[in-house]
């Protein structure tokens, strides 16, 4: 089936949050002449965002290495020898120091990542306190901690977590070539738990892992099926780390990467599309094309968990050259919202203490 690109654009404005994209439609977008594709993506982008504003986040690894998962792209996996030094969970004070520095550098969101399959209860208690204290700094908060069940997601939401990141990585069909220790449905279940708890979803994928073009279409189809669309969609270019199984995979053509950014923007018009991992390897022209294609979020700082990222001064220089500016966001809780959240936490604490008392009485 051939889909005319003018018809596609018309449908996007009529259906801003479509969840029924067919692979034929997505493939037709990818097949558009490059100039036509970017023109459409820019029209959609300008209909929903300030075309020159970029949301800025900072990412901190709060627990590094020794992850039991076997994701073939990841230097933190305990299955591969990448010479990565393992680190325990960071102290809360150090996390808050980094958050304050990130805010001073211009970030509006602070993302924290831990190399876990799923957080343990004792770790989750510390993570909840990190969320509370980082929010007190005046930043939006995001966590990526692996799989979370409904109760864990609810606890994070109660602590005030704004976003939870859990990427789908690739298409369902190619997924088994990259990861065997958790299933695609596991990932979708975590995203469902996050949404049900009332948090915003950050979910995207990694390109350049040896997938076919059809896998990139299928990945975006899966992301667009999520209801509502993820508020943040990171599009990562694989960073090839020595010691991982993908260290010698063939490079993805940068033009194909830009096409994926543009198609993501068209399919999920109200989402922030994040130009994420791989920027260290991109020249300024490639990054400029990504912003033109609809990317409007980046990570700001020296590292993305364990891999390099353009330094702040370079990013500032690029923003100045392109006439871009950090997106302004209301990141502090209002007094009413904070009071409501603290009251809810107090009620839950009283309930927990009462349950504990009843358990003691029952055992006597």
The residue with greater pLDDT, 286 or 355, is: 286
Catalytic site includes residue 111? yes
155 is catalytic: no
Q: Over the stretch 126-178, which tens digit does the pLDDT of each residue have? A: 899 999 999 999 999 999 898 999 999 999 999 999 999 999 999 999 999 98
Inter-helix orientation angle 150-159/184-196, to 10°: 40
Please tell me which residue in 109, 155, 202, 259 is annotated as part of the active site: 202
Mean pLDDT of 44-71: 84
DSSP string, 110-133: EEEEE--SS--HHHHHHHHHHHHH
Q: What is the largest CA-CA distance in the chain?
A: 76
> What is the Cα 186 distance to its own chain's centre?
17
Element containing residue 165 per DSSP (H, E):
strand 163-165
Q: Which of 109, 132, 142, 187 is catalytic?
A: 142
* pLDDT averaged over every residue in the chain: 82
Q: Quick count: other Cβ atoms within 10 Å of Cβ 105?
A: 15
High-pLDDT (> 90) share of the chain, %:
51
Active-site position among 109, 182, 274, 279:
274
Catalytic entry in 74, 187, 259, 265: 74
Cβ atoms within 10 A of the Cβ of 330, count? 9
Output 189 or 356, whichever has higher pLDDT: 189
The reply to whether 332 sits in an annotated binding site is no
Span of 88-97, 230-239, 277-286, 291-300 with lowest mean pLDDT? 88-97
93-107, 281-295, 318-332: lowest mean pLDDT where? 318-332
pLDDT at 329: 65
Q: Known binder of ligand: residue 155?
A: no
| pLDDT, tens digit (0-9, with 9 covering 90-100), for 30-42 | 999 999 999 999 9
Residue carrying the six token digits 């990190």 = 130
pLDDT in tens, 257-299: 999 999 999 999 999 999 987 888 889 999 999 999 999 999 8
Choice among 111, 182, 265, 279 that is catalytic: 111
| Ramachandran angles phi, psi of 187, nearest 5° | -65, -45
- Give the pLDDT confidence score for residue 167 in this predicted structure: 93
Better-predicted residue by pLDDT, 89 or 102: 102
Smallest CA-to-CA distance from 235 within 301, 315, 305, 290 is with: 290
pLDDT at 119 over 90: no
Helix (H) or strand (E) holding 234: strand 232-237
Class of domain 19-332: alpha beta
Q: Are 99 and 134 in contact (CB under 8 A)?
A: yes
For the chain, give every domain's residue range.
19-332, 334-363
State yes or no: is 74 an active-site residue. Answer: yes
CA distance linking residue 327 with residue 237, whole number of Å: 23
Q: Residue 340: which pLDDT band, with cuts at 50, 70 and 90? A: low
**What pLDDT digit, counting tens, does each position of 180-212 carry?**
888 999 999 999 999 999 999 999 999 999 999
pLDDT band at 11 (very low <50, low <70, confident <90, very high): low
Length of the chain: 364
User: What is the pTM assigned to this prediction?
Assistant: 0.81
């Amino acid at each position: 089936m051939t889909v005319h690109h003018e018809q596609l654009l018309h449908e996007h404005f009529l259906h801003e949050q479509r969840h029924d994209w067919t692979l034929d439609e997505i493939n037709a977008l990818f097949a558009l002449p490059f100039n036509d594709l970017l023109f459409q993506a820019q029209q959609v982008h300008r209909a929903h965002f300030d075309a020159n504003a970029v949301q800025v986040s900072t990412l901190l690894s709060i627990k590094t290495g020794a992850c039991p998962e076997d994701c073939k792209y990841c230097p933190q996996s305990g299955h591969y020898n990448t010479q990565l030094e393992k680190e325990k969970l960071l102290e809360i004070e150090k996390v808050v120091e980094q958050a304050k520095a990130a805010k001073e550098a211009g970030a509006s969101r602070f993302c924290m990542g831990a190399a876990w399959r799923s957080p343990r209860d004792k770790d989750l208690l510390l993570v909840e306190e990190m969320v509370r204290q980082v929010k007190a700094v005046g930043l939006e908060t995001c966590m990526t901690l692996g799989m979370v069940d409904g109760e864990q997601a609810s606890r994070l939401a109660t602590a005030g977590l704004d976003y939870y990141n859990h990427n789908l990585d690739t298409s369902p069909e190619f997924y088994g070539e990259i990861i065997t220790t958790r299933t695609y449905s596991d990932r979708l279940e975590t995203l469902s738990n996050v949404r049900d708890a009332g948090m915003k979803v950050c979910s995207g994928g990694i390109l350049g892992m040896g997938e076919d073009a059809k896998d990139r279409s299928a990945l975006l189809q899966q992301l667009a099926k999520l209801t509502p669309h993820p508020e943040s969609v990171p599009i990562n270019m694989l960073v090839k780390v020595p010691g991982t199984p993908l260290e010698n995979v063939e490079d993805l053509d940068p033009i194909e990467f830009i096409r994926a950014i543009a198609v993501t923007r068209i399919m999920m018009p109200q989402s922030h599309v994040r130009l994420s991992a791989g920027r260290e390897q991109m020249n300024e022209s490639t990054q400029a094309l990504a912003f033109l294609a609809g990317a409007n979020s980046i990570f700001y700082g020296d590292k993305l968990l364990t891999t390099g990222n353009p330094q702040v001064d370079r990013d500032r220089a690029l923003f100045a050259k392109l006439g871009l500016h950090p997106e302004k966001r209301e990141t502090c809780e209002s007094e009413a919202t904070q009071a409501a959240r603290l009251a809810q936490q107090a009620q839950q604490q009283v309930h927990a203490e009462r349950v504990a008392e009843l358990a003691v009485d029952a055992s006597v």
